[in-house]
Each structure stands twice: as structure tokens, then as C-alpha cells.
Chain A
Amino acid sequence: MIRNLIYTFKTAPAAVRKSILLEILHGVFIAVPTGFLLLTVQELFSGNVHQLRLWSYVFIMLGLLVLQLFVSVKTLIASNSMTYSISTSLRIRLGNHLQRLSMGIYKQRDPGDLASVVLQDVANFELIFGHTIGNIASAVFGTLILSVFLFITDWRLALVLLAALPLSWLMVLLSDRLIGEEGTKHVQARNETGARFLEYVQGIRHIKSFGLTGSRFSSLDRSLNDLRKTSIRTEAIPGPLVLTAALVMELFFLLMLYAGAGYFTGGTLTAASLITFMILGYRLYGPLKIVLVDYIILRYMNISLQRVTDVLRLPEQSAGRGVTPSEYDVTFSDVHFSYHTGKKVLEDVSFRVPEKSMLALVGPSGSGKSTIAALVARFWDVQEGSVKIGGVDVRDMAPETTYSLISEVFQDVYLFDDTIYNNIRYGKMDATEEEVLRAAEKAMVLDFAMEMHDGIHSPAGEGGNKLSGGQQQRISIARALLKDAPIILLDEATASLDPENEVYIQQAIQELVKDKTVIVIAHKLVTIRDADAILVMNNGQIDACGTHEELIAQDGLYRRLWQIQQTAGGWKF
């Protein structure tokens, strides 16, 4: 836990330093009234009472109270400012880091889970840390200061009181282990619930159409129920130990009284000292009891912090030597690739796409076409062989460099919950309005946007849900046009998402691919019959390569596919 805390402290060192100093000062202010109280009690019991001195104590305490008001406020602001400086910098770090991870991570880990690290786990830190830090600081300093007083007054009774601490601590350590287990389950259950709920909301149409709403959507209901059970367990299991730890303190206070009464009647303890202990005993334990609970909560928070640091430790894609290519041909040399299961998705694939030429990828679904496109964009790194752009291995480039060279037009468009205009502008953030509008016009976005209420400034909805598939697609083409990257990765099926405007989308795509290095995933073979080269993929391997005329002349997979497509006739009833 300490390691994780230090890690987080390092994200905002100035705020941490300031906060710690103020907490120490504040701790002194909290302890001082008790000191004066003791002096008063001892004086009253000593038989030698100085009225004036006692009244001066009262006035000094009053003066200190006024000072403490200022210090308290400053301390609270500083400790909160520290908490939120840390959480803000964690969120920004997490965000930047997530963006530099390979896409493979997003296939391995539920994106909803990653989002909840940034949201819920950091929020856990915020809420718990900000709340507990003050308590812990004042308990630590308070205990130190009071212990000194106590030892000066009577070391025997002081030892009795302090003997409770190791015992209580033992209980805490025991509960610690339990909390580690239960807490992990609880955090998991919480995040699981969040992910299932997002799934429920985002897939609600599908769920509705199978009548699975509410508790009939069993995976959400199950996770909610799990959360309920683990929540109760997380409270129930460590509870007895924590309370026993507090009880130990209560009992040691009574034990101290017992011993004190004995010493008093035995004559080895003055009445003033015994009363001092009676008053201080509770003052000593009070903050510590609060800290017992806080410590448990901190341990719980640590589970969240652990998840945060785990994500931050995931390896980023290497920036290699940071080379930037000056030419834009694409070469695969002996590429082998598999996702995480070991099943080869690409086996020994080699080809070259000369600059400003078009390569078409054809083959049955699952033959590796999309994977090839994903490897060019370096969503993953190859296991063997290399992918090169302009003769430079993509692993030798900073990932941003690779991405800056590529535009993608794929089926799964992602639109932001923003206006159509801004969605296009994501292609090039520093584009002028004129450039954006020109791209919108070329991609036929203006045609439908102008009929909307706010024109091109109409909202696209979350994930583009206010627009049709074809409309979303045209926005994504506009984005790519605006970006004007030298390499285009294209899924040909995107062209046929919208029948009436198919022709226009096709024109937009033709505009986009002009004078570019193009790799196109083709479904309708007729579309790519003019491609400079056609790569026929089958089961992750290259089946054949050539122009349409060459391939059709061979008796192979390509000719078979071509023939099926010539006859496929639509719905037959």
C-alpha cells in the first residue's frame, strides 16, 4: 500500500508537501488545548492554586482557538487540493497511457473495465483519501504529543494505555488480510456491475427485442446480486475484528483505571496524576479508534489504487527510433501473427504495395483480410517478420507517426457525442472552417446535414445514434478526406450502406483514394476488378496474387468466388 501511495504522491509533490506541513501544524493546535486542560487539573489538585495563572490559561486557549480557525481552513483546503491534484493527474496520465497501449489490450480487457479504472477507481481514491488523510494525520501527531505528556506524568500507567496499541494493531493486521480478499471481490463486483450496466444500456434494443429487460437480463441481475452479497460480506467479515480492536482500547482504559486506583490507594500515585490519566485516556484513544476504521477504508482504497497502477504499468507501444518515412509504399515480409490464443491468423504473408497503387484483399470471412489492415495501422505488433512503410519498420516509428500516415474507412464508424461539424474536425483539429466544409461537401455530408435542424452543427448523438449507418459512414469519409493521409485502408462494404446515395458515397471514396496508397478489403469482387493487384487470402495464407485477368484465368479460389457472386440472387421466397 505504501508503495502505491508514494507513487500517487509523486504525481503532485508540491501539493503533498504543503498539505503535510499544514497537517502537522494543525495536529499541534488540536493537541494544545488538552495540554492546558492538564495543567489546570494538576494545578487544582496540587493544592497550590494560582487564580491568575489559571485565568491566563483560559485566555491563551481562546487566542489559540482564533488561530486554529485559520489553520483548520487552510489545512482542509490544502488536503483537498492535494487529493484532487493527485486524482486529476492520475486521470490525465491514465488517459494518455491508455491511448498509447496497443489495441490488443482492448481486445483482452473489457473497455468498460478500463473506463471504470479511470472513473470509479480514481473516484474511490478521491473520496476515501481526502476524507481519511486529516484523521490519520491528527491521530498520529496527537498520539505522539499526548504520549509524551503521559510518560512524564506516570510511566507505569502510560505503558498500560500504550500496551493496547500493539494488540489492536494485531487485530487490524488480521482484518487486513480478510479485507484484501473481500475488498478485491467487492471492487470486482462493482466494476462488473458497471460494465454489465453499460452493456445493458448500449444494447437495449437487442435486449428489448428478446424481452430481456430488467431482471430478465440475467447477467446484469446476477452482477447486481453479486454486488449486494459482496457488499454485505465486505462489511460483515472485517467488522468484528475492527470492533474488537476498538474494544481492546476500551478495556485497556478500564485496566488502567484499575491499576491507577491500586497505585493511588498504595500511595504511589497522586490524585492529580490519576485524574490526568482519566481525562487523557479517552483523548488518546479517540482519534485512534477513528483511524482504525480509516485504515480499513484505506486498505480498501488501495485495491483501487492497485488497479490504477496496474493499468499504468501496462506496456506502451514502443516508439522505436522515432523514424519518419518519406515514402509511402507498404511491405509485408514473412509476417506471422496470432491474437492471444495462439491460433495463427496470418502465416508467412509477404507482399508489397507500391506507393500510389491499389491492393485489394479478397477471401472468405476470417481469412485474415481485416488483420492485415489492422497490422498496417499497428493496432498490433507482428510476432514474426515485419510490416514496413516506406522501407521503415512500423515498430521503428512512433505510433503517432504511423497513425498520421493512415486514414481508415471501415464499417464500424465511431462518432462522438458531438456535432457533425466537430466529428469531421476530429480528422484534423487545426483545420479551418472552410476545409471542414469542403470535406463535408465532397463526402456528401452537406446533402443530409442541410436538411437537419441545425445543419452541419446538428448533434450526431452518442456513437452517432441519431444518424443512419450511411450518414455515419459519410461523416467518417469526410474525416478521412480532411486528414488527407497518404495511405488509405478501406473496407469496400462501406460503400453500399445506403442505396440511394451509394453512388455518391462511391464518388466520395474515389475522391479519397485518388493518388494514395490504398489497401482495400473487398467483398464484391466486381468493385476491385481494376485494382493494381489482388491478394486472395485463405485461412491466413496467401492463396494467389495477381490482377483480375490473371486470377480469373486460373482455376482457383478467386474464380470460384467470382462465379458465386455472379449468381447470388437475393432473397428467394
Chain B
Amino acid sequence: MSNSKKPVSGVGRLLQIAGRRKRLLILSAVLAVLHALLALVPYILVCTIIRAMLTTPVDTEMIRSNIIWAVIAMTAAYALLYASGMASHVAAFNILYELRRQMADKLGKLPLGFINSNNSGALKKIMADDIERIENFIAHSIPDFIKGMALPLITLVYLFTVNWLLALVSCLPIMLLAVVIPMMFNKKNRTLMTAYHRSLEEMNAGIVEFVRAMPVMKIFGHSAESFGKYSGSVYRFREMVMDWIRIASPPQGMFISFISNATLPVLAAGLYLYFTGGVTPAVFFLFLLLGVGYIRPLFALINIGPQISVINHGVKRLDDILFGQEQETAGEETLGDNYNVTFDRVSFSYDNKAYALRNVSIRVPQGSVTALVGPSGSGKSTAAQLVARFHDVQEGAIYIGGKNIRHIRPEQLMQQVAFVFQDSFMFNESIYENIRMGMNKTEEEIVAAAKAARCHDFIMELPLKYQTRWGAQGTHLSGGEQQRIQLARAILKDAPVLILDEATAFSDPENEYLIQQAFSKLIGNKTVIIIAHRLSTITNSDQIIVMDKGAVSAWGTHPELLEESPLYSSMWHAHIRAKEFAL
């Protein structure tokens, strides 16, 4: 479905989603209709009793046996209602689960740029709230709609056979509402709905950011009130909702008023017919009774309209993700027999405006170490990320072992590349799992990797050692320690292509030294790309590539570049000066 066109929207799309559990939902609907039929029994019973009372002698035996049947019917009706509800809920929650998985899956397949350009709080709202609302449609709106329609329709047909005029009058309020409410509702509703969602997302983003940025909030003395993104978005959300409510309340109030007075037309018409002899007392009472009762399920319909439009807006947001353009993999190629990494005239832009890389050609032979250096913004991190295909190049191609990485299945590509990022990220799991990262490795291997990355000692001091959960009480690791966990992951992965983006930037010099030694042993026959700020750490590289403004400015070994590249030599001298920095 990845490349299929975005399909229908609105209710059609919701039904398409619900269609994933068609059988369960049909079952639920059938049960709901059966329930509705059985729920009529007491009304019919009342009718027969009234008839019996108006004839003499009163047949008490008949009334008694009817009541027993009614008891059985009602018990069955409720059992059916439960079964119907369960069927629709099981269907709904399974569908929600699938949609959420699908969304997570899809986010993993979209280019990184997509996530970077979306606020995580807003994405979370789609995952948590927008998808949750679909439950309402599947498990409530559909059965409510069927019940809401079935019972009145069945009753109406029955009533028409009894007295067509009163039957017609009894559905007057509904017909009136059916005409008036959509008229009152649809005008401003759509724009308000969009504004509502935007406002809610904005508030989500503000709150998530406020909590995440708490250290900054504290140190700069910002309270929730003074942090405009928090309080402003909270107040704006209220204003927004109140605007909406002012518009939605008149039709809703009208509905409630009409429904609670639904007997009025029947009463008036019935009285008229009664006095002119057009209706018997029994029939009149039947209408007074049913004329109220049968409309009640329509109460459930009152909210379906607005609910669906709320759900729809959420689904639209979800669909933007589900049908987003993912990275394509053209054809499936087997891997090459080596792991040379080659950039062939690669150009890349994040925003289709300014080039981040322009016409870059690089060759990194297997078993060698290549360092990418250059001023910040020169494109070295971008180049490294392209090897892992976090983004797709616009022009040119990148090859591993002679195979275009766009032709290698993403999972396979990821197995070939280990990446250590500048910023580490810890997951809310045990340290053990944080190192294992889903890889199929033994405990010995994990401990060995931790030792090589100089993690073992500080892990052993944690309260539960390797089983300490990150984010639980008392887990506190410094930035350097977190980065070493990341290194342990990469060591454990043992992939043939290794990319180190400032892998030891946050380590203290002692550990940096030991880690570098450990890694140097591991490098062996791998293809290694290192990005390093401290030029003195990469002077031994087989090849140093100097990047400047998205292009390759020079390449060679350290001594060669000192001679030939003015940029490199100025960077080198700046570095030497910086090393002398004293506070």
C-alpha cells in the first residue's frame, strides 16, 4: 500500500478502515438489530395489556404468560447487546492496534526529514488521540447508527399499519430535526474543526516541550504562565473550544428540547382524532407510549455527525503519514562481495532550496579509515548519514560493494552499517536491552562489548547492574557514559561499515583514549568513516577528506593536506591554538 494513491476521505475512508474487520462488525450489526427487535417486546406487551384491560372480562392468565415471555425476551435482548458490543469493540481495538503499528512502521520507512519536520508531540497526538477516536466510530457510531435506525424504522412500519396519520405525525420532530440540524451545523463547522485540531496539536507540542525543557525552564525562571507556548496554547485551546461550543450548542439544545417534547404532536393530533372519533383510546395510548419510546435511540445519533467530523480530521492527519512517500527500493540486489563505500557525484538538499552536498565523489576502500573533516555546516555529517540512507540523494548515487544502496533492501543495508551518533539516545529499558538493541546476541557478547566500550565498570555500579532500567529511580549516566553505551551497541553490532560521528566528543580524555584503543582493534577489515572535530585524533587516518560548503575541497593524508590544502592547514592551526585554550 506504500505507493498506492491516497484513497477516499470522510465517512468512506472510515468505513474502509472498519472494513478490516468486516465479519465481526456485520455480526455486531446483526446482533444489534436482533436486540432492537427484542427490545420492542415490552411495548407490545403494554399494548396487549391495555387492550385486555379495555375488554371485559380481563384475561389475567394471558397477561401473566405474556409477561413471562417478555422476561425471557429482555434477558435475551441484553445478552445480544453485550455480544454485539463485544464484537464491535474487539474489532475496533484490533483495528486501532493495526493502525498504530502501521503508523510506527511507516514512520520508520519515511525519510528522516519527515520526522524532523514534525513536532513529536503532534505526532504523538495522532498516534494516541486521533487513532483512539476511530474506536468511537467503529465500536459506537456504527452500532449506534444501526440501533438508532433499526428500532425506529421497525416501530414506524408497525405504527403505520395501526394508524398511518398518527404514525406520520409521530415522526414529525425527527423530520424537522433532520432538515434543520444539518443546516445549522455545516457552515462554520469545518473551519472550526480544523482550527480545533490545530489548536490541540499546538497545545500538545507546547506541553511536551515545556516538560522536556524543564531544566531550562527552571534556570531561566520561566513558569508555565510565562512560557507563552504553554499557557498561550492552553488558553487559546479553551477559547477555540468555546467558540465551537457556542456554534454547536443551538442545534444540540434544539435536539434535546424536541426529543423531550416528542409526544406533543402526537398528543395534539391524537386529541383531535379522539374527539372527532377517528381513533380508539387503545390506539391513542399506544402512540402516546411508543411515540416517545421509539424515538429515544435516535438520541445516540445526535452526536454521530459532529463525532464523525472530529474523527475525520484525525484520520486525515493519520493518512498524511500512512500514504506519505516512503523511500523506494528499486529491485532487490544481493550484496556485493566487498564493502567499499563510494559516492558518485552525489548532490543532496534537505529542503530542495540550498544544497547540503554538491557533486561529491568519495571512495572509501574496505579495510581503511577515512576521516571527514570540515567546518560546521560543510556537509560531513550529512554525507555520513546518506551512507545509512537516512535520506535519499537527489543526484548521483552511493554504492556499497558496487551496489547502489537504493537497490539494497533497507533492513539489509542497516545490517551492513553501524552508526554512532553525536547525540546519544537512551531507551526506557534495561541497560542490557539498551546495548542489545534487538540484536540476536549472547550475554557474553554484550558484556564483552560493554567492556570494550568502557561501560562495564559504571554499569556494575548501578543498582541492578545490567538489568537497571533506564529512566527508573536512580539511573543517572553522564553524557559521556551514555555515549559509551552507544559505542557498545556499535561494537556489538560488528557491521562491516562503521560510521563514527563524533563518537567520543563527550568522553573524558582518559576514557576517550581507552575507547579509541578498543575501537582501533575492532576496525580490522572494516570500512570506517570517522567524523572528528579534534583533528589531532585522526591524523593517522588512511585518508582525510576535507569538506567545505557541501563540496569536497581536498583529500589526502595528514602530511599531504598540511602542504596542499589551505583550509585544512588553517583548521589544523586553529585546532592547535584551541588546544592551548585556557579559562
Determine whether the beta carbon of A197 is less than 8 Å from that of B104. yes
Quick one: CB contact mask for A507-535 with B, threshold 8 Å, 1 for yes? 00110010000101001111111110000
Question: Are A69 and B257 CB-contacts (below 8 A) given A370-B478, A427-B220?
Answer: yes
Determine whether the beta carbon of B474 is less than 8 Å from that of A340. yes
Stretch from B25-33, B202-210, B333-341 contacting the other chain: B202-210
Which residues of chain A have C-beta atoms less than 8 A from B471's C-beta? Answer: 110
Q: Does B179 contact A (CB under 8 A)?
A: no
In B233-285, the 8 Å CB interface with A consists of 234-235, 237-238, 241-242, 245-246, 249-250, 252-254, 256-258, 260-261, 263-264, 267-268, 271, 274-275, 281, 284-285
Question: Are A205 and B112 CB-contacts (below 8 A) given A213-B105, A571-B540?
Answer: yes
A196, A461, A530: the one within 8 Å of B428 (CB): A196
Q: Does B402 contact A (CB under 8 A)?
A: no
Q: Does B509 contact A (CB under 8 A)?
A: yes
- Docked Cα-Cα span, A496 to B374, in Å, equals 14
Q: Does A148 contact B (CB under 8 A)?
A: no
Which residues of chain A have C-beta atoms less than 8 A from B417's C-beta? Answer: 209
Q: Does A174 contact B (CB under 8 A)?
A: no
B252, B415, B574: the one within 8 Å of A503 (CB): B574
The binding surface of chain B is classed by DSSP as: helix
- Using CB atoms, name the residue of chain B closest to A90: B234
Which residues of chain B have C-beta atoms less than 8 A from A87's C-beta? Answer: 238
The binding surface of chain A is classed by DSSP as: helix
Q: Does A429 contact B (CB under 8 A)?
A: yes
Determine whether the beta carbon of A92 is less than 8 Å from that of B225. yes
- Using CB atoms, name the residue of chain B closest to A240: B82
Determine whether the beta carbon of B271 is less than 8 Å from that of A54. yes
- Using CB atoms, name the residue of chain B closest to A525: B509
In B193-238, the 8 Å CB interface with A consists of 203-205, 207-227, 229-231, 234-235, 237-238
**Closest chain B CB from A555 CB (angstroms):** 18
Which residues of chain A have C-beta atoms less than 8 A from B93's C-beta? Answer: 228, 231-232, 235
Determine whether the beta carbon of A219 is less than 8 Å from that of B510. no
Determine whether the beta carbon of B242 is less than 8 Å from that of A80. yes
Determine whether the beta carbon of A339 is less than 8 Å from that of B476. yes
Question: Are A573 and B520 CB-contacts (below 8 A) given A209-B419, A403-B221?
Answer: yes
Q: Does B309 contact A (CB under 8 A)?
A: no
Which residues of chain B have C-beta atoms less than 8 A from A265's C-beta? Answer: 58, 60
Which residues of chain B have C-beta atoms less than 8 A from A323's C-beta? Answer: none
- Docked Cα-Cα span, A106 to B505, in Å, equals 26
- Using CB atoms, name the residue of chain B closest to A266: B60
- Docked Cα-Cα span, A379 to B50, in Å, equals 77
Which residues of chain A have C-beta atoms less than 8 A from B42's C-beta? Answer: 250, 253-254
Determine whether the beta carbon of B218 is less than 8 Å from that of A99. yes
Determine whether the beta carbon of B230 is less than 8 Å from that of A341. no
A204, A215, A217, A412: the one within 8 Å of B115 (CB): A204
B90, B249, B474, B507: the one within 8 Å of A339 (CB): B474
Determine whether the beta carbon of A247 is less than 8 Å from that of B75. yes
Q: Does A221 contact B (CB under 8 A)?
A: yes
Stretch from B122-130, B145-153, B157-165 contacting the other chain: B122-130
Which residues of chain B have C-beta atoms less than 8 A from A278's C-beta? Answer: 46, 49-50, 289
Question: Are A571 and B541 CB-contacts (below 8 A) given A216-B438, A429-B226, A529-B582?
Answer: yes
**Closest chain A CB from B25 CB (angstroms):** 15
- Using CB atoms, name the residue of chain B closest to A102: B218
B70, B90, B211, B517: the one within 8 Å of A254 (CB): B70
Q: Does A6 contact B (CB under 8 A)?
A: no
- Docked Cα-Cα span, A403 to B493, in Å, equals 43
- Using CB atoms, name the residue of chain B closest to A88: B238
How many chain A residues have a CB neighbour from B under 8 Å?
189
Q: Does B181 contact A (CB under 8 A)?
A: no
Quick one: CB contact mask for B50-68 with A, threshold 8 Å, 1 for yes? 1001100010100110010
How many chain B residues have a CB neighbour from A under 8 Å?
189
Q: Which one of A65, A194, A506, A573 has the greatest number of beta carbons of chain B within 10 Å?
A: A573
Which residues of chain B have C-beta atoms less than 8 A from A366's C-beta? Answer: 458, 461, 478, 481
- Using CB atoms, name the residue of chain A closest to B578: A502
Which residues of chain B have C-beta atoms less than 8 A from A227's C-beta? Answer: 97
Which residues of chain A have C-beta atoms less than 8 A from B388's C-beta? Answer: 208-209
Determine whether the beta carbon of A573 is less than 8 Å from that of B541. yes
- Docked Cα-Cα span, A33 to B82, in Å, equals 33
Q: Does B1 contact A (CB under 8 A)?
A: no
**Closest chain A CB from B293 CB (angstroms):** 6
In B400-452, the 8 Å CB interface with A consists of 410-411, 414-415, 417-419, 421-423, 425, 427-429, 433, 437-439
Determine whether the beta carbon of B508 is less than 8 Å from that of A111. no
- Using CB atoms, name the residue of chain A closest to B281: A44
Which residues of chain A have C-beta atoms less than 8 A from B70's C-beta? Answer: 254
B230, B376, B473: the one within 8 Å of A500 (CB): B376
Question: Are A51 and B519 CB-contacts (below 8 A) given A84-B241, A205-B112, A214-B108?
Answer: no
B82, B101, B493: the one within 8 Å of A214 (CB): B101
Q: Does B366 contact A (CB under 8 A)?
A: no
- Using CB atoms, name the residue of chain B closest to A36: B267
Q: Does A448 contact B (CB under 8 A)?
A: yes
Q: Does B381 contact A (CB under 8 A)?
A: yes
Determine whether the beta carbon of B540 is less than 8 Å from that of A572. yes
Q: Does A471 contact B (CB under 8 A)?
A: yes
Determine whether the beta carbon of A500 is less than 8 Å from that of B574. yes
Stretch from B7-15, B357-365, B530-538 contacting the other chain: B530-538
Q: Does A358 contact B (CB under 8 A)?
A: yes
Q: Does B352 contact A (CB under 8 A)?
A: no
- Using CB atoms, name the residue of chain A closest to B263: A37
Q: Does B375 contact A (CB under 8 A)?
A: yes
Quick one: CB contact mask for A482-509 with B, threshold 8 Å, 1 for yes? 0100000010110111111111001001
Determine whether the beta carbon of A40 is less than 8 Å from that of B105. no
- Docked Cα-Cα span, A196 to B427, in Å, equals 9
Q: Does A365 contact B (CB under 8 A)?
A: yes
Determine whether the beta carbon of A469 is less than 8 Å from that of B86. no
**Closest chain A CB from B538 CB (angstroms):** 6
In A463-493, the 8 Å CB interface with B consists of 463, 465-466, 468-471, 479, 483, 490, 492-493
- Using CB atoms, name the residue of chain A closest to B439: A210
Which residues of chain B have C-beta atoms less than 8 A from A4's C-beta? Answer: none
Stretch from A70-78, A149-157, A162-170, A385-393 contacting the other chain: A70-78
Determine whether the beta carbon of B213 is less than 8 Å from that of A416. yes
Which residues of chain A have C-beta atoms less than 8 A from B489's C-beta? Answer: 210
Q: Does A128 contact B (CB under 8 A)?
A: no
- Using CB atoms, name the residue of chain B closest to A75: B253
Q: Does A114 contact B (CB under 8 A)?
A: yes
Quick one: CB contact mask for B559-576 with A, threshold 8 Å, 1 for yes? 000000000000100110
Determine whether the beta carbon of A258 is less than 8 Å from that of B119. no
**Closest chain B CB from A186 CB (angstroms):** 11
In A373-399, the 8 Å CB interface with B consists of 377, 379, 399
Q: Does B523 contact A (CB under 8 A)?
A: yes
Q: Does A14 contact B (CB under 8 A)?
A: no
Q: Does B100 contact A (CB under 8 A)?
A: yes
Determine whether the beta carbon of A224 is less than 8 Å from that of B100. yes
- Docked Cα-Cα span, A164 to B70, in Å, equals 17
Determine whether the beta carbon of A470 is less than 8 Å from that of B376. yes
B75, B229, B374, B508: the one within 8 Å of A364 (CB): B508
Q: Does B579 contact A (CB under 8 A)?
A: yes
A208, A217, A360: the one within 8 Å of B414 (CB): A208
Quick one: CB contact mask for B71-108 with A, threshold 8 Å, 1 for yes? 10011001001100110011001101100110011111
Q: Which one of B204, B208, B574 has the greatest number of beta carbons of chain A within 10 Å?
A: B208
Which residues of chain A have C-beta atoms less than 8 A from B53's C-beta? Answer: 264, 271, 274
Q: What 15 new A-B contacts, CB under 8 Å, besides A201-B107, A271-B53?
A: A54-B271, A64-B261, A99-B224, A201-B115, A206-B421, A213-B104, A219-B433, A261-B67, A262-B60, A364-B510, A365-B478, A366-B458, A366-B478, A503-B577, A561-B509
Name 7 A/B residue pairs within 8 A (Cβ), A-sorted.
Answer: A65-B264, A91-B234, A99-B214, A209-B414, A246-B78, A403-B220, A500-B574
CB-based closest 9 A-B pairs: A213-B108, A95-B224, A570-B537, A214-B105, A72-B253, A341-B474, A73-B253, A211-B414, A499-B533
